[in-house]
Every structure is written in C-alpha cells, then in structure tokens.
Amino acid sequence: MEEPLIRDISDTARWVAVYRARETERPDAAFRDPFARRLAGERGEQIARAMPMAEEAAWSFIARTHLFDRFILRAVEGGADLVVNLAAGLDARPYRMTLPPSLRWVEVDLPEILDYKEEVLAAEKPVCALERVRLDLSNVDARRGLFARLGGSARQALVISEGLLIYLMRSDIYDLGRDLAEPAGFRHWIVDIVSPGLLEMLKQRMGDLVRQAGAPYVFGPPEGPPFFERCGWKPIEVRSMLKTAAKLGRLPMLLRMLALLPESAGAQGSRPWAAVCLLSRS
C-alpha cells in the first residue's frame, strides 16, 4: 500500500515549517526562522511539493506567522511573563525571536513531535526559559492540572494556539476556552480562525489528505471571532490574513483586488476569510 502524503498530524508541522524556511531565505523576509529548514527536513519538502495549493497557499502561512509574532512581541512588551504554546509543533520562537531572558515559555504537544524538535535543536540555546510539556490536550484532567500550575505561577500569561483550532470540534474548543479562562494568570489568548466559506474550500481541496492523517478540518464558526465570547474570551483585535499578506507583498495578483474590499471582524458566511485574533478574558 502506498504511504499517504500526510501520515499524521506531526507531518502538517513539517509542511508548514517549509513555508517559514522559504520566507526566511527571501531578502525581504517578513520574519527570520533559521531553524525552519532543519525542522522541516526532507519529509516536509516532499509534502510541500506534492500538496494541492502548495504555492497558492504560501501567503496565508506567512501572514499568520507574522501576525502571531507581532501579537506575541506586543504582549511581552506589555508585561507578559509567561507564554503557553498549545500544540507547539515545530515552532522555534523561543530560539529565533528577541525575547527577554526572564520570560518563561512553555511548549505543549505530543511526545513524538517534541522529542523530534528537541533532537534537531539539541545544540541550540533558547533565548528565554523554555519548558516542554508532553501532553495530549484531549486529556482534560491533565490539561486542567497543567493550566492550574502555570496560571498560578504567572502574573500575566499569554496563551497561543497557532494552527490548532481548525482541527477541533466546536464543543471541544468551547471546553478548552473555559478551561483556559479558569486560571487567574491567563490573561490573553491568540488564535487563528477561518470562515465557513474558507473551511469548505479547504475541505474540497485538501480535506482527503488531512482526513487520512486523522486530522480533518472541522472548525469554521459561522459567527466568526465572537464565538469565543461564549467560553469567556473577548476578541479585542482581529487581523485579516489576506490584508496582512497584501501589506507584506505576498499575495498572488488575482487576490490583490480582493484585499482592497472592506472586511468586518464578525460573521463572514460563505466568504473565504481567515484571521488571527487577540482575545482577552471577558
């Protein structure tokens, strides 16, 4: 039997790392991730070459990384003393960003992906205090215990979940949001979301590949960012990936005109739309 293009959820992290590597190699890079090429490995390159929409979708990953970087830096400058990265994957921000040595950074993910990253980056030194927690976030009791420990030790913690929520059921995200809103120290949460229209487009073009890996695309809330108000989080800033990519000069010609159209931060319906949102505890 032929091996699937994407074998498991960890392969999606290798695939996305390729986009960070390619952006880093541009003279006008929107960010620099000198570790991305090593972390992606040959497996990541194989996936990126074979993936439908591989080149057409590159701009969205660049915009997403850029926006997460900006929100993180602003939070740290505003006094955040802890960053909790849920489903951290092959993210190398504790190594590549300009962060204070006193900052605590906690990566949470499955053992296999963190073991792989630890091996690849064994000779590198993070710029801040880094802790890795091997945990399946679907283990509710374990994650609540972790959140209580971390939230109780931080004055102002920032939670990030880049590229995670699209794989989770609506009810699971609600429960996760409620759990994150419980510790007093958890103040802000950065998420990325897609509209129902974009979700359907992604399912049509790439749905079979990610479903074979046991990670189907499922979350595209009809109400948009206000969904999170139900679980204790209020959107305070919403940044369109399309408009961000346009400002960075990364959009294909056909999409540049679309980026000129006005957008709202609420329900998007059938319109293909994606954004990075900064949430604050309600």
- Residue 1 in this model has a pLDDT that exceeds 50: no
Rounded distance between C-alpha atoms, residue 10 and residue 177, angstroms: 23
Burial of 127 (0-12, 13-18, 19+ CB in 10 A): middle
The pTM score is 0.95
- pLDDT for 118-168, tens place per residue? 999 999 999 999 999 999 999 999 999 999 999 999 999 999 999 999 999
Rounded distance between C-alpha atoms, residue 36 and residue 264, angstroms: 33
- pLDDT for 22-65, tens place per residue? 999 999 999 999 999 999 999 999 988 887 676 788 999 999 99
pLDDT-based confidence at residue 108 (cuts at 50, 70, 90): very high
pLDDT-based confidence at residue 207 (cuts at 50, 70, 90): low
Rounded distance between C-alpha atoms, residue 40 and residue 90, angstroms: 8
Average pLDDT on 213-234 reads 93
Task: Name, in order, each residue with C-beta under 8 angstroms of 75's C-beta and a sequence gap of 6 or more.
Answer: 83, 158, 188
Average pLDDT on 274-280 reads 98
- Residue 282 in this model has a pLDDT that exceeds 90: no
Residue spans per domain, the chain: 54-281
Q: In the prediction, which pLDDT does 269 show?
A: 84
Q: Which homologous superfamily is 54-281 in?
A: Vaccinia Virus protein VP39 (3.40.50.150)
Q: In what order do the strands lie in the sheet with 157-161?
A: 129-134, 104-109, 82-86, 157-161, 186-194, 274-281, 233-240
Q: In the prediction, which pLDDT does 55 show?
A: 76
Average pLDDT on 100-119 reads 98
Q: In the prediction, which pLDDT does 36 show?
A: 98
Give kind and range of the element (H or E) at residue 114. helix 111-120
